[in-house]
Amino acid sequence: MKFLDLAKVYIRSGGGGGGSVSFRREKFIEYGGPDGGDGGKGGSVWAEAVDGLNTLIDFRYQQHFFAKSGQQGMGSQRNGRDGDSITLRVPVGTEILDEDQETLIADMTEIGQSVLLAKGGNGGFGNLHFKSSTNQAPRRANSGQPGVERTLWLRLKLIADVGLLGLPNAGKSTFLAATSNARPKIADYPFTTLHPNLGVVGIDGVEFVVADIPGLIEGAHEGRGLGDLFLGHVERCSVLLHLVDGTAEDVAADYATIIGELEAYAEELSHKPRVTVLNKVDALDDDTRAERLAALKEASGGTVLAMSGVAKEGVPEVLRALRAQIDEDRLRHKPDSDEEDAAWQP
């Protein structure tokens, strides 16, 4: 399935049916009086967050969503039928924006959450509605209200607990593949990952979701490389896992590049809880490892862990550091598992 995280849609609610002007005409009933019914209500357009979707690809092939209009009122006091409403099924984590792509209409963060996007028009009154003691034969009826037409943008921000950050080839996809059942494409060239991947990772009897996004390069906020198009997918994360390639010549510069891009994209994103890891340490000798760990600690000003996703060295420690930063209500506990089975196994 292709990944799509931004889609433009056109919606229109149904118009209300017009009221009827009608009079009762039956044999032997001289003064039948008005009997025009009301028009039916137009259908509305709703959005609902559903389970089982993680892309907006369906909206690439259908962009127009029009609800049905209400039927006209009829004689014999018959009201028109209401128009059918329609519902846009979107993944959890979808933001619904107005046409300007800035005004937030709704943020669909929970399964089953629904929001009204365009209300259907009311049906018009028939002439029966206007009958009174002083106007016993009204000859007017209301027309129905028109529907609402809107252009909206759908923007998906994946719901994950941990977001992976790093330069291309920092080992993010290898880490995800080594710790979860996700199978992202892995290769020895930059930009192997072209769209976000999700994986469920387990450690010490709990599970959490990790999101791997395409790597950033210097100038990503200006559109270089794949740009910062996918940084929105880590905005909702509790903690960021910043992987730095230990085989790089200047690990401090690589670290600073990513931090600079985070600050250029959103200041609050750069202040999220972050676990910094020197990756690919299996390819380093002891002296080089110690030297680059020290350089990275100085650049980050905090604790730096050492890890190798390929050799699975230091991975449990990294997972436990991530778990400590995730709120308890977001963790999913494994049912009926003893301590040995619950622990992460390389």
Q: Tell whether 165 is in a known binding site.
A: no
Q: What is the pLDDT of residues 190-228, one digit of tens each?
A: 555 666 777 788 888 888 888 887 767 666 555 555 556
Locus of tokens 């005004």:
103
With a pLDDT cut of 90, the percent of the chain lying above it is 29
**Domain spans of the chain?**
1-156, 162-342
Q: Tell whether 309 is in a known binding site.
A: yes
Q: Tell whether 144 is in a known binding site.
A: no
Structure confidence at residue 15 (pLDDT): 95
Q: What are the strands, taking DSSP E only, across 98-256?
A: 104-108, 114-118, 149-156, 162-165, 197-203, 206-212, 239-245
- Confidence bin at 229 (pLDDT 50/70/90): low
* pTM of the predicted protein model: 0.71
The set of residues, in sequence order, having a beta carbon less than 8 Å from that of 28 and lying 6+ positions away, is none
Q: Tell whether 27 is in a known binding site.
A: no
CATH architecture of the domain formed by 162-342: 3-Layer(aba) Sandwich (3.40)
Structure tokens at 296: 């990275």
**Cβ atoms of residues 263 and 270 within 8 Å:** yes
Structure confidence at residue 149 (pLDDT): 95
**Cβ atoms of residues 165 and 258 within 8 Å:** yes
Average pLDDT over residues 1-29: 86
Structure tokens at 203: 């450690």
Q: Tell whether 279 is in a known binding site.
A: yes
Instruction: Please determine, looking at this structure, whether the domain spanning 1-156 carries the CATH number 1.20.1050.10.
Output: no
Residue length, the chain? 346
Topology agreement, domain 1-156 and domain 162-342: no
Q: Rounded to 5 degrees, what are φ and ψ at 50? A: -120, 160
Q: Tell whether 166 is in a known binding site.
A: yes
